Amino acid sequence: MDFTVQDLIATLLPGAVPAALGYALAAVAVAFAVLSFFVAPLAGVTSWLERRVWARMQSRVGPNRVGPQGILQWLADGVKNIQKEDIIPASADRKLFLLAPYVVFSGFLGAFVVIPFGSWLIPADLNIGILYLLAITSLVVVGILMAGWSSNNKWSLLGGMRSAAQIVSYEIPAGVAVLTVIFLSGTLSMQGIIKAQGWAPWDWFIFYNPFTLVAFFLFFTAALAEGNRTPFDIPEAESELVAGYVTEYSGMRFLFFFFAEWGNLYVIGAIAATLFLGGWQIPATIFGVTMAEHPLLKGVLEFAVFFVKAYFWAFVAMWVRGTLPRVRVDQLMAMCWKYMVPMSFICLFGTIVLLVIWPEGNTALTMATLAVSCLIVLYFMWRVVYQIMHSRPTLYLKPYV
């Protein structure tokens, strides 16, 4: 692959251009392509889909005017925000105020560098990939603090301080849950973690033992809190803080904060799929077709499998936001420090003990964990059907209006 890239650069650029400059230009071109053709449409469509999901849950229609079923609503919103005046408060710290949205957006966009969309479809397979991911996403709290402080507004400052306390606190259970997976896989590489799993559910780390099952939900809950998602969206609580740390922002700078929030839904799902759900793993043979003999088909299927796994949890995040009310700030911090942090350490130490007892894993324990999980899902589905039958709501089964 390195030779191919060097050969491509040598072909496209004049011989007088240094190789280092060629690689830099290639990196900028790839980043621009990823931002323009994947990240931006993904975040935009996610914003439209989230509003449609909320509408269905609340017996409304949602955006359905711009484009087929309103799917181009995100483009209309972008054009509207571009045309809005960029207002900077006279008493604000101008430099920090202007910089804050880009710091938040950089922390979100930098996460895509190590997300493995396929066995070969990854921008950079770093041997410390998960460590890089935890570090780069921490830039978001820096940007939010900058926005809250530089606005010179008490509501913005309260929102920024809330966000800092929330993100720093919930990084602890999230990091410990990730450490559980690192012990199982023996690597910090995102690709290495996926390769340590298999395509079948009983080969995924989420069902490896009961501790990893709990660790997954601890990680997902902490990730929602770090992403300022409902019911943990107290930094921008409009009923208390007007709009929190974005109160003084307008136009595209305002949009950048929520651009990162919507795109972060996919990042949360992608990390969860990588660490616990086998990532892009597919069977070696599908309907008699050997995947190794068809690399293009294999790459497409791997990307599709990874995308579905990641976006499923993005949908769950939308579901949670449309269902649960916002918690109080004291409840938020108490849940983290009193419950999630101790539980995450219990999961970590429990996994270590089981690894000492069964270094190669225990198939019976894995199957029992999988069976219990299936029973929980079946019970949940039964309760949903029970509520529907007894409440007799008007069901709109068509996916469009």
DSSP string, 279-298: TT---SEETTEEGGG-HHHH
CA–CA separation, 373 vs 377, rounded Å?
6
Give 295 or 242, the one with higher predicted confidence.
295
Per residue in 91-145, pLDDT tens?
Answer: 888 888 888 998 888 888 888 888 999 888 888 888 898 999 988 888 888 888 8
Could you tell me which residue, 300 or 87, shows the higher pLDDT?
300
| 243 inside domain | yes
382 belongs to a structural domain: no
Instruction: State the CB neighbour count (10 A cutoff) for residue 287.
Output: 5
Asked if residue 15 belongs to a domain, the reply is: no
Is 147 within 8 Å of 100 (Cβ atoms)?
Answer: yes
Q: Which of 269, 332, 355 is nearest to 305 (CA)?
A: 269
* Structure confidence at residue 241 as a pLDDT band (50, 70, 90): low
Query: 109 near 35, Cβ under 8 Å?
Result: yes
Q: Does the pLDDT value for residue 171 go beyond 70?
A: yes
Note the pLDDT of residue 4: 41
pLDDT of residue 9: 54
**Cβ proximity of 330 and 169 under 8 Å:** no
Name every residue whose Cβ is closer than 8 Å to that of residue 200 and which is 6 or more positions away in sequence.
278
Which tokens hold the place of 400?
A: 């469009």
Nearest Cα neighbor of 215 from 393, 87, 346, 22 is 346
Would 81 be classed as within a structural domain? no
- The answer as to whether 42 is a domain residue is no
- Report if residue 220 sits inside a domain: yes
Q: What is the pLDDT of residue 399?
A: 59
**Residue 173 lies inside a defined structural domain of this protein:** yes
For the chain, percent of residues with pLDDT exceeding 90? 35
Measure the CA–CA gap between 336 and 342, rounded to whole angstroms: 9
pLDDT of 191 strictly over 70: yes
Average confidence (pLDDT) over 369-393: 88
pLDDT at 307: 93
**Amino acid letter at 331?**
Q
Write down the pTM of the prediction.
0.88
Lowest mean pLDDT among 10-24, 95-109, 273-287, 315-329: 10-24
- Percent of the chain whose predicted confidence (pLDDT) is above 70: 89
Domain containing 218 equals 86-356
| Domains held by the chain: number | 1
As a whole number, mean pLDDT of residues 190-204 equals 93
| 335 belongs to a structural domain | yes
Going by DSSP bridges, is the β-strand pair 285-286/289-290 parallel, antiparallel, or unpaired? antiparallel
Our CA dihedral for 272, 274, 279, 280, rounded to 10 degrees, sits at 130
- In angstroms, the CA 274 to CA 302 distance is 12
Structure token digits, residue 390: 């007894």
Type of residue found at 35? L
- Cα 22 from Cα 258, distance rounded (Å): 34
pLDDT at 14 over 70: no
The span from the first CA to the last CA of the chain, in angstroms, equals 48
